[in-house]
Amino acid sequence: MTLLTLTQITRDFHLRGGLFGGRRVLRALDGIDLEIARGETLSLVGESGCGKSTLGRIVAGLQSPSSGEILINGKPALRGKARARQIQIVFQDPFGSLNPKMSVGALIAEPATLHGLVSRRDAPQRVQELMRLVGLRGALAERFPHELSGGQRQRVALARALATEPELIVCDEAVSALDVSVQAQIANLLQDIQKKTGISLLFISHGLSLVRHISHRVAVMYLGRIVEQGEAEQVFANPLHPYTRALISATPEPLPGTGGNRLELEGEIPSPLALPSGCTFRSRCPHATERCAAAQPPLETTGHAAACWHVDSLPEYAPRQTTPPERMRAALDLYRSAAARRTPPLEETIN
Amino acid sequence: MSDATAFAARGRTWRRLRRNPMMTLALGVLMLITLAAILAPVLTPFDPYETNIRARLKPPGDGHILGTDSQGRDLLTRLLYGARTTLLIGFVGTGFGALLGGTIGLCAAFYRRLDSVLMRIIDVFLSFPSILFGLSLAAMLGPGLDSLIFAVGLSVMPGIARISRGAALSIMAQDYMDSGRAIGLPVQRLLSGYLLANAYPPILTYTTLAFGDAVLLAATLGFLGLGLQPPTAELGSIAAEGRSFLFLAPHVSTAASVLIFVIVLSFNLLGDALRDAGDRRSV
């Protein structure tokens, strides 16, 4: 069942170009169509500046689209408090997203009491429930954000988002600022919570490794447009769009030099103020032809589809060689023995 | 326990303040003067308005600690009552200015649409020297406590508005402002519990500094005769009164001026110390 439907969402930013520059328009989002089903995790991936955060903020109601329609449960999306009840957002920087003047307990209780979900008297109990749900010790309710670690703060932010009992949580790079081990913990936590509550997640990220692990569906964005979307497994196993292929190929390899040939993109991302005509990716695409300059390729909104004129004529996708397990093991053994030789025995260090 | 943590944070600032001896001195002096001004009726046996022609311009000593003024009134009593008036104008005026300026500053930062309009108005206010501004306002509104407080308040308001806007803008850029909006908080809670609660330290510091300016402005207006009319005791007008007898009885003007000087200096020292101690990036 569809929870959220975005139709032709466009967002323009008006820039003033200095004293005599006149006004210029930056189109951050251009005709985004997207659907999120109940209990589904949809990941939005793309380079910095491709508009994925703007889209997340529009979904959460922090910004309005310049044009387009947002439907929640088939009805036009409401604003303010009503939207807050349905959709919540968790931000990237856990050090900036919690009001430093409020205790953890107050931060988590605030949305619940604001929306009248618990009485002020029952709030502490609800806070404890939510803290248990996100894996925080109840005693931390008395602490202030600056006394917590990054992972703990992000759990508080999540508990705060869950407190309004929303149907969708936008995770705007919610794990990118955390240590890798903590990233995995938070990602697993998100999955657990989804299993328990049936909540939908819009997971915005620029890193692909986690996305593959946690999402049901993936939408790849490039310069304000969605260029490919589909089931996560399909997209990763057989990426259709040249940009998606390059993106997947850019995932770091644990053992450098063993990963086989890497598909590298030429050139820079064009300025969003002077986009190429037709397909915006054509300036960096190895397969671009005149047709790509003439018109913007359409994107099917169902199934696995890519916005590319040459989907059918592109070369067969050859996944990049990953480091074979035995090479990985050999490299690790080598590293360990070298490290052991370098480190003096413990007794020597003490004396 | 939550109180305890907050208390600990406050304790840090407080310890840092106490390590600064100038600040302890300034705070002590201010408290002493304020207390003496409040308790004036209890502290002195003299009436600040009853004249005694036979005891005019007596030098310090001989029953009158600071001597008497041109009407034979006890000078110390006059100064205590004068400090009462001057401090009242300073406190209420600055309070009014801080309330108005703070609101304007916060609103300018919160409602970006209002920003340029509000700040251009503040620029106009700032382009007048505050003495001139206070003078013309006091002259326009006529003498009286209310109009003096109003004039002083409006003179310190633009500076406070500027500082508040700057402080609030840096807080507005924080994610937790968006987080507050995302959970659907009403505007007043966002402004007070989120914006002001985090932006207040520099505003408080600046306001303390502005107290000094306000007291000085109040005294200046009194000295120039635009403040409260005689016989009301007010530090500026006492200094002005003594000016006519500067060679005959220098103690009148001197005592009043020194008191003004001490009050203003103490406020400035206090403000500086607050800035040094509290203006770290808030935890």
pLDDT, position B275:
78
pLDDT band at B11 (very low <50, low <70, confident <90, very high): low
Domain map (residue ranges) of chain A: 38-60+81-232
Q: In this model, does residue B4 exceed pLDDT 60?
A: no
Is residue A284 within 8 A of residue A267, CB to CB? The reply is: yes
Is residue A91 within 8 A of residue A172, CB to CB? The reply is: yes
Q: B183 CA to chain A: closest CA distance, Å?
A: 5
| Full-model pTM | 0.81
Among chain A residues, CA nearest to B196? A101
Query: Which of A273, A217, A233 shows the shortest CA–CA distance to A42?
Result: A217
Q: In this model, does residue B83 exceed pLDDT 50?
A: yes
To test the contact with chain B by mutation, choose from A57, A99, A168 the residue with the greatest count of B C-beta atoms within 10 A, namely A99
pLDDT band at B245 (very low <50, low <70, confident <90, very high): confident
The position carrying tokens 């002259």 is B139
Q: In this model, does residue B5 exceed pLDDT 90?
A: no
pLDDT, position B46:
80
Is residue B171 within 8 A of residue B110, CB to CB? The reply is: no
Among chain B residues, CA nearest to A89? B182
pLDDT tens per residue, range B95-140: 999 999 999 999 999 998 899 999 999 999 989 888 888 888 888 8
Positive or negative, the CA dihedral B102, B106, B111, B114 is positive
Q: In this model, does residue B201 exceed pLDDT 90?
A: no
User: Of chain B residues 197-216, which have a CB less than 8 A from chain A?
Assistant: 197-198
To test the contact with chain A by mutation, choose from B116, B170, B171, B179 the residue with the greatest count of A C-beta atoms within 10 A, namely B179
Q: What is the pLDDT along chain A (351 residues), one digit of tens a residue?
A: 889 999 999 999 888 766 666 678 888 999 899 999 999 999 999 888 888 999 999 999 999 999 999 999 989 988 888 999 999 999 998 889 999 999 999 999 999 999 999 999 999 999 999 999 999 999 999 999 999 998 999 999 999 999 999 999 999 988 888 888 888 888 899 999 999 999 999 999 887 888 888 899 999 999 999 999 999 999 998 999 999 988 888 877 767 666 566 777 777 788 888 888 889 898 888 888 888 888 888 888 788 989 999 888 888 887 777 777 788 788 888 888 887 777 665 555 554
In chain A, what residues touch B193 (CB-CB under 8 Å)?
Answer: 99, 101-102
What order do you get walking across the sheet with A217-222 strand by strand? A87-90, A168-172, A200-205, A41-45, A217-222, A225-231, A305-306
Among chain B residues, CA nearest to A90? B179
Q: For all residues of chain B together, what is the average pLDDT?
A: 85
Span A38-60+81-232: which CATH code? 3.40.50.300
In chain A, what residues touch B283 (CB-CB under 8 Å)?
Answer: 100, 144, 146
pLDDT, position A250:
82
CATH topology of domain B85-279: MetI-like fold (1.10.3720)
Out of B2, B176, B283, name the one closest to residue A146 (CB): B283
Residue B62: partners with Cβ closer than 8 Å, 6 or more residues away: none
What order do you get walking across the sheet with A23-37 strand by strand? A23-37, A2-16, A67-72, A75-76
Calculate the alpha carbon distances from A96 to A15, A101, A177, B176, B178 in Å.
27, 12, 11, 6, 10
In chain B, what residues touch A81 (CB-CB under 8 Å)?
Answer: 184
Among chain B residues, CA nearest to A106? B2
What is the β-pairing status of strands A225-231 and A217-222?
antiparallel
Q: B159 CA to chain A: closest CA distance, Å?
A: 26
Domain map (residue ranges) of chain B: 85-279
Report cis status (omega within 30 of 0) of the bond before B231: yes
Q: In this model, does residue B281 exceed pLDDT 60?
A: no
Is residue A244 within 8 A of residue A306, CB to CB? The reply is: yes
Is residue B187 within 8 A of residue B134, CB to CB? The reply is: no
Are the beta carbons of A142 and B5 separated by less than 8 Å?
yes
Tokens of A75: 């009805």
* Helix B2-18, helix B21-38: angle, nearest 10: 100
pLDDT, position B3:
45
A–B interface: beta-carbon pairs under 8 A: 77
Are the beta carbons of B183 and A164 separated by less than 8 Å?
yes
The count of C-alpha atoms lying within 13 angstroms of the C-alpha of A301, restricted to the half-sphere facing its C-beta, is: 11
Among chain B residues, CA nearest to A92? B175
Out of B1, B182, B282, name the one closest to residue A142 (CB): B1
pLDDT, position B68:
77
